[in-house]
Amino acid sequence: MLAPKARGSLSEQVLAALTSGQVSPTLRDVEPDGPEDAQVTLWSLYELHYRGFEDVDDTLEWHPDLLAVRAGLEAELEADLRERCPEVDLGDDFAAGLFSFIEQHDGPSVARFVQRDATHEQVMDLLRWRSIYHLKESDPQAWVVPRLSPGPKAALMELQYDEFGNGDPQLLHAHLFAQGLAASGLRPDYGAYIDEAPVEVLEENNAMSLFALHRRLRAASLGHLAAFEATSSGPSRRMSRGLSRLGFPAEMSAYYDEHVEADAVHEQLAVRTIAGAVVAEDPSLVQDVVLGAFTCLDLEDRFAEAALARWGAVDA
Ligand SMILES: [Fe+2]
Ligand SMILES: [Fe+2]
């Protein structure tokens, strides 16, 4: 993947520094023009820790001036996410409380719109936007593994072993999505559509990296995972039905069909055996789990609102 296009003054300077290798301490003083500029910059800096860019030197991954820019953007993002998150009392039964918190959350659903009303073109938009995460599916949560004690670590590995194909690269969820994209006439390569990703998609991806790359936020990462898995099975069924309604190829539906079954299991693992175990060990982490879960739901609402607005559609 090549470095993305700039979306403002900060990303322009940071991306120029990345591709030229000329990193200056003055980058720390550049303010982003707005959310698009901030999020694409942060996304690009995070990407150095995943697969990197063909036109960026790998040695820049840990450059102190770039880390300083990243830290400033992360502080703003974290403060914003914390400010939006309500105080929630999950009660004495953590798993029941978390499931009910997630279930009670009500927001617009892109999957419901796809099932009933979306056009072929709108679903093509959606698949391009979703590709930013689905082509690196479960990668962020892998950063959390070494930060856990044996119980939740084994459970997270069980979940991720499934996400990563049970030992078969053909069955990696990211690979299933790539095959679906290719069969649908879209580019299956990692990051291909980053320049058209809406800011809400960048923010969803950045929140996952933020939580996962900071050990102190590990419970937020697991809360995010719990909400993600617990809101996947039903919408995946709706997506699959919508794709069939519109005549999309079987490879594309196969990705969603896999998630109808898999995520019904993953949600139990994520809520009970992973997040539940972490909170049992350290009850002070409950509010961080809530932060992660709420952020997952809230950012998906914001994405759904933006996507539906762009299409001039409503989720009825
Ligand atoms: Fe998956
Ligand atoms: Fe899953």
pLDDT digit string, tens, across residues 236-290: 999 999 999 999 999 999 999 999 999 999 999 999 999 999 999 999 999 999 9
Give the length of the chain.
316
pLDDT tops 90 at residue 10: yes
64 and 152 assigned to the same domain = no
Question: 240 C-alpha vs ligand 2 centroid, how far in Å?
Answer: 16
Q: What local confidence, expressed as pLDDT, does residue 259 receive?
A: 96
Residue 4 lies in a domain: no
Question: 163 C-alpha vs ligand 1 centroid, how far in Å?
Answer: 5
- pLDDT band at residue 80 using 50, 70 and 90 as cut-offs: very high
160 and 181 assigned to the same domain = yes
109 and 176 assigned to the same domain = yes
Question: 123 C-alpha vs ligand 2 centroid, how far in Å?
Answer: 21
Q: What local confidence, expressed as pLDDT, does residue 316 receive?
A: 62
Question: 71 C-alpha vs ligand 2 centroid, how far in Å?
Answer: 29
Q: Please report which ligand is nearest the Cα atom of 263.
A: 2
304 and 190 assigned to the same domain = yes
225 and 120 assigned to the same domain = yes
61 and 124 assigned to the same domain = no
67 and 103 assigned to the same domain = no
Average pLDDT rounded to a whole number, residues 111-120: 97
40 and 95 assigned to the same domain = no
Question: 176 C-alpha vs ligand 1 centroid, how far in Å?
Answer: 9
Question: 8 C-alpha vs ligand 2 centroid, how far in Å?
Answer: 35
Q: Are 270 and 229 in contact (CB under 8 A)?
A: yes
| Integer-rounded Cα radius of gyration of the chain | 19
- What share of the chain in percent tops pLDDT 70? 100
Q: Please report which ligand is nearest the Cα atom of 174.
A: 1
199 and 172 assigned to the same domain = yes
Question: 16 C-alpha vs ligand 2 centroid, how far in Å?
Answer: 36
- pLDDT band at residue 314 using 50, 70 and 90 as cut-offs: confident
Q: Give the domain range for residue 43.
A: 9-83
Average pLDDT rounded to a whole number, residues 12-21: 98
Q: How far apart are CA 34 and CA 12, in angstroms?
A: 13
Q: Please report which ligand is nearest the Cα atom of 164.
A: 1
In the chain, the number of structural domains is 2
DSSP string of 236-305, one letter each residue: HHHHHHHHHHTT--HHHHHHHHHHHHHHHHHHHIIIIIIIHHHHHH-GGGHHHHHHHHHHHHHHHHHHHH
Decide which of 83, 112, 135 is a domain's last residue: 83
215 and 127 assigned to the same domain = yes
260 and 221 assigned to the same domain = yes
Average pLDDT rounded to a whole number, residues 26-39: 97
Q: Within 10 A of 261 (CB to CB), how many other CB atoms are there?
A: 12
Burial class of residue 185, CB neighbours in 10 A (0-12, 13-18, 19+): exposed
> What is the tens place of the pLDDT at every residue in 207-225?
999 999 999 999 999 999 9
* Half-sphere exposure (Cβ direction) of 306: Cα atoms closer than 13 Å: 17
Q: Please report which ligand is nearest the Cα atom of 163.
A: 1
- pLDDT band at residue 70 using 50, 70 and 90 as cut-offs: very high
pLDDT tops 70 at residue 109: yes
Residue 17 lies in a domain: yes
